[in-house]
Amino acid sequence: MGASHTIDIAVNQLGYRSQDLKLAVMRGGSGSFRLVDMASGGTVWQGETGVAERDAASGETVSRADFSAWQQPGVYRIESGDGSVSCPFVISDEVYVDAHAALLKAFYFFRCGMELEERYAGPWKHGACHSSPAIVYGDEEKRVDAYGGWHDAGDYGKYVGPGAKAVADLLLAEELYPEAFARPLLIPETDGDMPDVLHECRYELEWMLRMQDGETGGVYHKLTTLVFPPGDTMPEEDTAELYVSPISATATGCFAAVMAMAARRYIAYDGHFAETCLSASKRAWSWLEGNPDAPGFRNPPEIATGEYGDPIDADERYWAAAELYRTTGEAAYHQAFQALVDQVEAQGLFELGWSNMSGYGSLAYIRTEREKSPELASRLREGWLGRAEELAAVSEKDGYGISLLPKHYIWGSNMLVLNNAMLLLLADRLSGSALYERHALAHVHYLFGMNVVGMSYVTGFGNNAIRYPHHRPSEGDGVDEPVPGLVSGGPNAGLHDDYAKQHLAGRAPAASFADVMESYSTNEVTIYWNSPAVFVMSHFVQ
């Protein structure tokens, strides 16, 4: 256990589909390489790497080995002319299926308020947790019975904004890649033809519904204890008093948006639930209309858990208006959306993060079958494709083929990796082409080990996968292996925790990572890092 180091030959440790572009990244100068069959020990392919170039993000000189022409299924490794050896990997058209399932099953492991039974959770079982009513901060007499939902991250807080991003990613994946979810998960709920991904999203959506204030329609920002518990605390052992933080415009806006999305996705399976979601969305929108100048959320003085502060709510309102219009066709929502476009454009209209939800609004409008402004729809579509082109240009120059510049290795850089891959795949769908698919695939390769530290950033997948994420259940359950299918936050040059400050100072941005529980700013996990991973992998398993 400790800080990660660079590796001489980096590969996707899961492997490659037979028809895909297959690359390995070699550290050092250019030279010869060979593809070795692990079963026979024989060389089945050999070639020369491309020209070696200095990679700013990793701080290394790297070259690429292309073995795309080899398509025979099997288990292989790459060896360089100087004797360096890669991790083993598979060539198979089914290579991503198990990882996709685990990335989705991770949401079950994030569940709050219920026992995770051994028959569903295996050795990562634990007792029910956080079931007591929560105090409304600032009104000690008022309680909210907001049980359920998903723990947000390596702690046990529950947050409406990040939860909405996570649900939106999963609902989009189910909408666009339904065949990717034909394989059932081992979770308690089964209900006819409803895909398991919708069962899982419903668990979070029902918690969100409990977070809506029945009197005003506004939505409480988050539900947490006053402070985080120690790092090895199991969920059922975290028995401190629960608090809901005050209503915020950002929480109410993204609640309105994701509930309108849910109304569309669930109508075919449960009309009553779909109507409940739409009614809640409309009440939240009414709150937004009545509170046009609501201040940005800040933690109350006594609450030291994650803030998810966001001073700008225009993007959440923009997303909500787009989804409500797509769902209902009502002109008032269309007018509200059009009125917000110019205001949101200053932030960026194509972002897919919890702090800027604009991309979901733009996508909803581009894809709606309702009447729309041809000029605005064209502007948004062309803007989306222009953003994809920018990301592709960065990917072409990056030593490991991804769309992050050195300045982008921030807290949760893997969310940017996966959000960008989402955007690229959506650009292909909007353009009717496959121009950007290979760049999106390079982001998958990066996630599973084709990176400068040579680690798979997904627990349980890859020969050298992270083992010590900042995740309290994985730390406290006594099981040797962490909960599988969790996406680590990844390299963060900001040195935001004590371990990083002591051990990672001076590292190149893409190498600023440590596989230790203590480095929460590089190795924490969250639902909204897993969710874009599910979306992206859904494309490659359909």
DSSP string, 315-367: HHHHHHHHHHHHHH--HHHHHHHHHHHHHHHTT-SS--BTTB-HHHHHHHHHH
Residue 275: Cβ within 10 Å count: 13
Contact 222, 207 (CB under 8 A): no
- Residues 215-230: what's their mean pLDDT? 97
**Lowest-pLDDT range of 176-185, 191-200, 360-369, 377-386:** 191-200
* 337 pLDDT above the threshold of 90: yes
Sequence letter at residue 173: A
Closest CA to 161 of 252, 228, 281: 252
* 127 pLDDT above the threshold of 70: yes
Q: What is the pLDDT of residues 266-298, one digit of tens each?
A: 999 999 999 999 999 999 999 999 999 999 999
pLDDT bin (cut points 50, 70, 90) of residue 7 is: confident
Q: Which residues contact 401 (CB under 8 A, 6 or more apart)?
A: 23, 25, 64, 395, 439, 442, 443, 445, 446, 450
- Residues 128-145: what's their mean pLDDT? 94
- Residues 463-484: what's their mean pLDDT? 97
The CATH T-level fold of domain 113-307 is: Glycosyltransferase (1.50.10)
Closest CA to 400 of 434, 444, 435, 436: 444
Write out the two tokens for 34: 């060979």
* 1 pLDDT above the threshold of 80: no
* 381 pLDDT above the threshold of 70: yes
- Residues 393-398: what's their mean pLDDT? 98
* 456 pLDDT above the threshold of 50: yes
Q: Which residues contact 438 (CB under 8 A, 6 or more apart)?
A: 21
Spatial separation of the C-alpha atoms in residues 307 and 139, rounded to whole Å: 19
**What are the C-alpha distances in Å from 361 to residues 344, 365, 414, 456?**
10, 6, 22, 32
Q: Which residues are marked as active site?
A: 155, 470, 515, 524
Spatial separation of the C-alpha atoms in residues 189 and 138, rounded to whole Å: 37
Sequence letter at residue 179: E
* 167 pLDDT above the threshold of 70: yes
**What are the C-alpha distances in Å from 64 to residues 25, 50, 106, 386, 400?**
5, 5, 33, 27, 8
* 536 pLDDT above the threshold of 90: yes
Q: What is the pLDDT of residues 478-516, one digit of tens each?
A: 999 999 999 999 999 999 999 999 999 999 999 999 999
Q: What angle do CA 305, 308, 314 make, to 5 degrees?
A: 155
